Copies of this chain bind each other. A is one copy, B any other.
Amino acid sequence: MNKKLTPLKENFSAWYNELVKQADLAEPTAPRGAMIIKPYGYALWEAVKNLLDQKIKETGHQNAYFPLLIPASYFAKEEDHIQGFAKECAIVTHYRLTTHADGKGIMLDPNARLESPLVVRPTSETIIWESFRKWIQSYRDLPMLINQWANVVRWEMRTRPFLRTSEFLWQEGHTAHNTREEALDHAHQMLQVYCDIIRNELAIPLIEGEKTAHERFAGAEATYTMEALMQDGKALQLGTSHFLGQNFAKAFDVRFVNQEGALTHVWGTSWGITTRLIGALIMVHGDDQGLTIPPRIAPIQVVVIPVFRSGTSQEILIEKATSIRKTLASHGIRVKLDQRDTHQPGWKFHEYEKKGVPLRLVLGPRDLANHTIEMLRRDTGEKRVISLDRLVSVVEEQLIAIQDNLYKRALAFQKKSIHYVDHLDQLQNIMQRDRGFVMAHWDGTTATEEAIKQMTQATIRCIPFDSSEEAGRCIYTRKSSQRRVLFATAY
């Protein structure tokens, strides 16, 4: 059975949840707020992971692995950090279960209580900086460039697959540097690595900038972010890169002897992206028919479906379809042949449409005679019959065109949705109607930021890097301001 999705414009949240389920990306499961990432969803994550892992290595980092369970006392060392994270952790207190006295069911073994509790990592700064203290003695040990692929747990009250789950997968980079300037540059460089992949491979337009003090990572001196606009007009933060200053170096006493022989604290950065990117992909490129995956990260770029009609030879059709699959695969195209006879062609069409496969090729009996195949573009719905002689070049060209079109379409939507406003009521109106990105003046205080959020639900997503100087007045206090900042209602 192929069920239709609730239309995106009717109920975005229902559309999203149905799409995640119907495209077989993930499903919610116990415990509350957790999800299973199903094979098709995981293949998307693997595509992102492979691309990013290569870039992380090319920029000089090495992967390592640190423990999942962190002594609670580590979190107490950096004051802001504990404030920011202690409220949402899973805590291990026991190391054994035992069966009930009546032999039915199981319970905590009261004799197996840990002397001090362990935190399931919500992020790994504490344990990594604890190691940096041991690993770093001299300027020769710097820069220390470490990355970890891992799962983390944060206790969330309101969850949604990919966007906010109690456990998620991510990559967390942690680095230590000789100078403030080098660390600052590094934090910027890694944000740029993310942006390049997200723009070029995921085809998602971004606005980059710095977070306000209020939205900064707990323990950072500066947090850089990339924000994207979803089709419901809400913003999603896709990843952050933090300049930690010497905060963690001081909290964990990480010092080194510099070139001049002086003992001094190192400078740090940390940066991460998560499985949330899959959520962004859905909300930026999806439509009422389902997902649309940018070809460069599509697990399946092309699906080939043979369509039998009574009286024609199935064998010849499958033979031809197989040879088409092989030809495309030999050119490095990720192609799947679906020749199952347990499902009808119509069912298959819907299936790959929902799953967002960029190109569909349908081979029917008539094509055999004509040496042709029917091609359908997922992004535009455009259908063409093409000659098999030109198959590879047309497919390659179309995959590039789809990638290009998805980015342009999303960029056009983003541009159309950026509003420049000078008064609070305008921001209020926009947030009550279509939402979107709003560029407006702000007086630079947390009090104003919070007041505006109270009244409009919009938060400051970032102070965009490319926001030029412009004299103006704060939309709330009318105090003077030197540049506009980016407001939006956020996930």
Contacts and interface: CB of A to CB of B under 8 A. Distances in A.
Query: How many copies of this chain sit in the oligomeric assembly?
Result: 2
Contact of A131 (B29, B64, B97): B29
A342 B142 CA distance: 13
A327 to B, nearest CB: 21
A99 interface: yes
B108 A91 contact: yes
Given A89-B96, A96-B91, A97-B72, A117 B108 contact: yes
A106 B62 CA distance: 33
Interface stretch (A37-45, A231-239, A266-274, A398-406): A37-45
Given A86-B98, A106-B82, A34 B93 contact: no
Interface string A97-134: 11100000110100000000111100000010011001
Contacts of A34: 67, 69
A153 interface: yes
A350 B322 CA distance: 55
A37 B151 CA distance: 16
A71 interface: yes
Interface string A135-170: 000001000001000110101000000000011010
B151 A151 contact: yes
Contacts of A75: 97, 106
Interface residues of A, number: 64
Contacts of A72: 97, 106
Nearest to A95: B155
Given A73-B105, A97-B119, A65 B37 contact: yes
A241 to B, nearest CB: 21
A87 B125 CA distance: 31
A73 B97 CA distance: 11
A7 to B, nearest CB: 27
Given A67-B29, A71-B31, A73-B106, A89 B95 contact: yes
8 closest residue pairs by CB, A with B: A39-B62, A34-B67, A37-B65, A91-B94, A95-B155, A86-B97, A90-B92, A93-B93
